[in-house]
Amino acid sequence: MSDTILKAEGLTKEFRGFVAVKDVNLAIRRGSIHGLIGPNGAGKTTCFNLLTKFLIPTRGTITYDGRDITSLKPAEVARLGLVRSFQISAVFPHLTVLENVKLALQRQRGGSFDFWRSDSVLREYDTRARELLADVALTEYERVQAGQLPYGRKRALEIATTLALDPVMMLLDEPTAGMTHEDVDRIVALVKRVSAGRTVLLVEHNLKVVEGLCDEITVLARGEVLAQGNYATVSRNPDVQAAYLGTDPASVGAPTATGEAAHG
């Protein structure tokens, strides 16, 4: 088994001549938390959509677990264990928190709704759903309708429904976007906890979020890889500092009080 779980080579995406992602090379180590960061407009979401197969690259290849997945569909890579949050795990606002997670578990195991399952199977979903809710600190909310949850807790529920699919590798696009500082801290702790035994790719605008969380960081700017390394290395890099300062001084240095309201 190779040390690299996900690899992108020469990944390029053009939108009618505009190059949003340009010749990106990326190697994500198995079991690591990898941050893909950069200022707004850097190409993070485009890159995320390429890696999760929601966009077709103009050029380049993507390899997952030694297998070329460049031409596979999102559902196909999800079956291989490469799952993005909010992909299959839509949250139903009128169902309770617990029901949402049970439904995600049911879809993972059975494929469709099945009202004829035995009591023991349903009880098994119950137990596993409660474990997942405990993992994301939502136990006390289990009877609340998902639509009534505070914003930060909703993101936590989305992570729980993603975990219900038991991903080998989980990809999250700005899980802390629009959150209060308190919620940001909680999500950071949560990602750390649920990353045990998996690989996580975290797309993030705010440098402070990836500090202490990510083992390895790739910095994008204007669609290209600007720097790569651990937090200490990339945060000291003058090109990285310039790229951030050029667009949004608040995102380097002191954490923002309200998190990142703007979602690029």
Ligand X SMILES: Nc1ncnc2c1ncn2[C@@H]1O[C@H](COP(=O)(O)OP(=O)(O)O)[C@@H](O)[C@H]1O
User: What are the residues binding ligand X (CB under 6 A)?
Assistant: 15, 18, 20, 38, 40-46, 264
CB atoms within 10 A of CB 229: 15
Nearer to ligand X, 15 or 151 (CB): 15
Q: How many residues bind Mg ion (CB under 5 A)?
A: 3
- For residues 106 and 114, what is the distance between their CA atoms, to the nearest angstrom? 8
Nearer to ligand X, 165 or 202 (CB): 202
Q: Facing residues of 14 across strands? A: 19
Tell the smallest beta-carbon distance from residue 218 to Mg ion (Å): 14
Residues 6+ positions from 164 with CB-CB distance below 8 Å: 89, 101, 104, 105, 108, 128, 129, 132
Tell the smallest beta-carbon distance from residue 133 to ligand X (Å): 30
- For residues 164 and 150, what is the distance between their CA atoms, to the nearest angstrom? 21
Tell the smallest beta-carbon distance from residue 45 to ligand X (Å): 3
Enclosing H/E stretch for 263 = none
Q: Which does 42 bind (CB under 5 to 8 A by kind): Mg ion, ligand X, none?
A: ligand X
Q: Which does 18 bind (CB under 5 to 8 A by kind): Mg ion, ligand X, none?
A: ligand X
- For residues 252 and 35, what is the distance between their CA atoms, to the nearest angstrom? 15
Hey, which residues between 18 and 47 contact Mg ion (CB under 5 A)? Answer: 44-45
Nearer to Mg ion, 45 or 218 (CB): 45
Q: Which does 57 bind (CB under 5 to 8 A by kind): ligand X, Mg ion, none?
A: none
Q: Facing residues of 200 across strands? A: 33, 170
Tell the smallest beta-carbon distance from residue 15 to ligand X (Å): 3
Nearer to ligand X, 41 or 229 (CB): 41
Tell the smallest beta-carbon distance from residue 195 to ligand X (Å): 22
CA atoms within 13 Å, Cβ hemisphere of 230: 5
- For residues 206 and 253, what is the distance between their CA atoms, to the nearest angstrom? 10
Nearer to ligand X, 54 or 92 (CB): 54
Distances (CA, A) of 225 to 23, 78, 87, 233: 8, 26, 26, 14
- For residues 89 and 256, what is the distance between their CA atoms, to the nearest angstrom? 29
Nearer to Mg ion, 45 or 206 (CB): 45
Q: Which does 113 bind (CB under 5 to 8 A by kind): ligand X, Mg ion, none?
A: none
Indicate whether 264 belongs to the interface with Mg ion (CB under 5 A).
yes
Hey, which residues between 36 and 95 contact Mg ion (CB under 5 A)? Answer: 44-45
Q: Which residue is nearest to ligand X (CB)?
A: 264
Tell the smallest beta-carbon distance from residue 252 to ligand X (Å): 16
Tell the smallest beta-carbon distance from residue 163 to ligand X (Å): 24
Encoding tokens for residue 130? 């409660």
Distances (CA, A) of 161 to 1, 22, 190, 191, 231: 28, 33, 14, 14, 29
